[in-house]
């Protein structure tokens, strides 16, 4: 395989697993900085070790396995600031996330369309949480609600976005049939 072919093969395999990778990293760290750093580390390692990848195996499972190793390596660092899952659970989560049959096939355009339909107050909340990376305590202070109430709003928005995304995907599938 020449370099161009290697690049192309890597991209083809890597692109569909990016979201699952980031999802796993965030599920285990709950820290966007750590997630971003680990994501870069894992991407580098996947590219470096791509020559060792056995094409008869699932790339997704291989990638999630690498992600798990990196999370475990740096676990001590983020364990100081918050509660962190046991190694056993991290491994099980990586196996689950690496299982292609469990993939929801969620797509960003669907989510983008749903986010546009969110009320402006909810979009603002999303901005505070995901763009400015504010903690729930900071958000609750800004919106002058309790932390519990802010948390309930987040849960409601997550549920709504998910339902909306799944509905729009189902509609798209039905239209394609």
Partner 1 sequence: MMDRSTEQLLSRYLDGVETPEEFAELERQALQSPELRRELVRLAKLDSMTRTLVKEAAAAKEFSKCGERIIATERRRWRIRWVCGAAAAALVVCVVGVNLWQARQAEKLTVAIGREGDAKPPIPVPAPHVPAEGRLVAVSGEVWVARSDGTGQSAASVGTEVRADETIVTATNASALFAYADGSTLRIYRASAVVLSRTDAGPGLDLRQGAVDADIRKQPEGRRLRVLGELMQAEIVGTEFRLMADPRGKWKCLGVRTGVVEVRRVADGQKVVLKAGNYAAVAPNWPYMLMDARVCPVWKEICRAMAGTEYP
Which residues of this chain interact with partner 1, rule CB under 8 A? 3, 7, 10-11, 14-15, 19-20, 22-24, 26-27, 30, 32, 35-37, 39-40, 43-44, 47-48, 82-83, 85-86, 88-89, 92-93, 96-97, 102, 104, 106, 108, 111-112, 115, 126-127, 129-131, 135-137, 147, 151-152, 154-155, 158-159, 161-162
By CB neighbour count within 10 A (0-12 exposed, 13-18 middle, 19+ buried), where does 29 fall? buried
Query: Cα 95–79–133 angle (5° rounding)?
Result: 90
Instruction: State in angstroms the smallest separation of the CB of 121 from partner 1.
Output: 15
Print the SS3 string covering 80-126: CCCCCCCHHHHHHHHHHHCCHHHCCCCCHHHHHHHHHCCCHHHHHHH
Nearest approach, Cβ of residue 83 and partner 1 (Å):
4
Least distance to partner 1 from the beta carbon of 98, Å?
10
- 69 versus 103: smaller Cβ distance to partner 1: 103
Q: Which is nearer to partner 1, 116 or 177 (CB)?
A: 116
Mention every residue, 6+ apart, whose C-beta is less than 8 A from residue 102: 96
- Least Å distance between CB 23 and partner 1? 3
Q: How far is CA 152 from CA 30, 98, 160, 163, 176, in A?
A: 18, 30, 12, 16, 36
With respect to partner 1, which residue has the nearer C-beta, 133 or 171? Answer: 133
- Other beta carbons within 10 Å of 13: 18
Residue 171 Cβ, how far from partner 1 at the closest point, in Å? 19
Nearer to partner 1, 37 or 69 (CB): 37
């Amino acid at each position: 395989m020449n370099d161009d072919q290697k690049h192309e093969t890597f991209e083809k395999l890597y692109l569909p697993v990016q979201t699952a990778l980031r999802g796993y990293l965030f599920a285990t760290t709950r820290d966007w900085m750590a997630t971003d750093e680990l994501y870069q580390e894992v991407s580098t390692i996947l590219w470096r070790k791509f020559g060792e990848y056995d094409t008869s195996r699932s790339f997704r499972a291989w990638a999630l396995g690498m992600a798990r190793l990196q999370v475990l390596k740096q676990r001590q660092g983020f364990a100081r600031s918050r509660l962190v899952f046991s190694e056993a659970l991290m491994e099980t989560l990586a196996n689950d996330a690496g299982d292609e049959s469990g993939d929801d096939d969620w797509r960003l355009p669907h989510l983008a369309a749903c986010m546009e339909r969110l009320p402006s107050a909810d979009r603002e909340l999303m901005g505070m949480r995901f763009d400015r990376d504010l903690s729930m305590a900071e958000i609750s202070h800004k919106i002058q609600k309790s932390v519990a109430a802010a948390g309930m709003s987040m849960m409601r928005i997550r549920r709504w976005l998910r339902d909306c995304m799944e509905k729009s995907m189902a509609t798209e599938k039905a239209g394609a049939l």
